[in-house]
Amino acid sequence: MHDIREILNVMPHRYPMLLVDRILEVDDRHVRALKNVTFNEPFFAGHFPENPVMPGVLIVEAMAQAGGFMLLRTIEDRKGKLILFTGIDNCRFRRPVVPGDQVIFEVEVRSRRRTFAKLAGTAQVNGNLVCEAELISAMVERP
């Protein structure tokens, strides 16, 4: 298990865009991560004030961050790298994520080349599927 300090050491993201709270399991081909969704999330102020729902794009971003942790953690010069989206395929949202939910992300490598990776991920709350997607990324040098 990796706590927030270890995540911050690997990932370039910071508040308010760091969307993963804990890495539960990780190896070279799979990661399982956790996000505690609280009412204090900045996006709930406008999405939607009377019926707060986590934006789907942020669910996919959190899934990608879990995958990014898996890919970056073994790279020695990771401080000089960024992982960028190059595509999102077959993305489906099954149910809303609301304050109080704990989202579990499962992401696995489908294929990987030197700087490109295709990942498949799911997000679940209480064992119920809330989102699934295929994520395509490229690793680039930081400017």
For residue 88, give the CATH number of its domain. Answer: 3.10.129.10
Q: pTM surpassing 0.85?
A: yes
Q: How many structural domains is the chain composed of?
A: 1
Are 95 and 130 in contact, with CB atoms under 8 Å apart? yes
How many Å apart are CA 121 and CA 115, to the nearest integer?
Answer: 19
CA triplet 137, 142, 143: central angle to 5 degrees?
130
Q: Is 104 exposed, middle or buried (0-12, 13-18, 19+ CB in 10 A)?
A: middle
Query: What's the token pair of residue 107?
Result: 């992401």
How many Å apart are CA 72 and CA 47, to the nearest integer?
Answer: 31
**Residue of 112, 15, 124, 16 whose CA lies nearest to 68:** 112
What is the pLDDT at residue 82?
95
What distance lies between CA 139 and its chain's CA centroid?
16
Helix (H) and strand (E) counts in the chain? 2, 6
Q: Which segments of 1-143 are extended strands (E)?
A: 22-26, 30-36, 81-93, 102-112, 116-125, 128-141
Average pLDDT of the chain to the nearest whole number: 97
Question: Does the annotation count 30 as an active-site position?
Answer: no
Query: What's the token pair of residue 105?
Result: 């992300």
pLDDT tens-digit readout, 12-60: 999 999 999 999 999 999 999 999 999 999 999 999 999 999 999 999 9
What is the pLDDT at residue 113?
94
How many Å apart are CA 71 and CA 82, to the nearest integer?
Answer: 10
pLDDT tens-digit readout, 73-129: 989 899 999 999 999 999 999 999 999 999 999 999 999 999 999 999 999 999 999
Range of the domain at 137: 4-141
What is the pLDDT at residue 30?
98
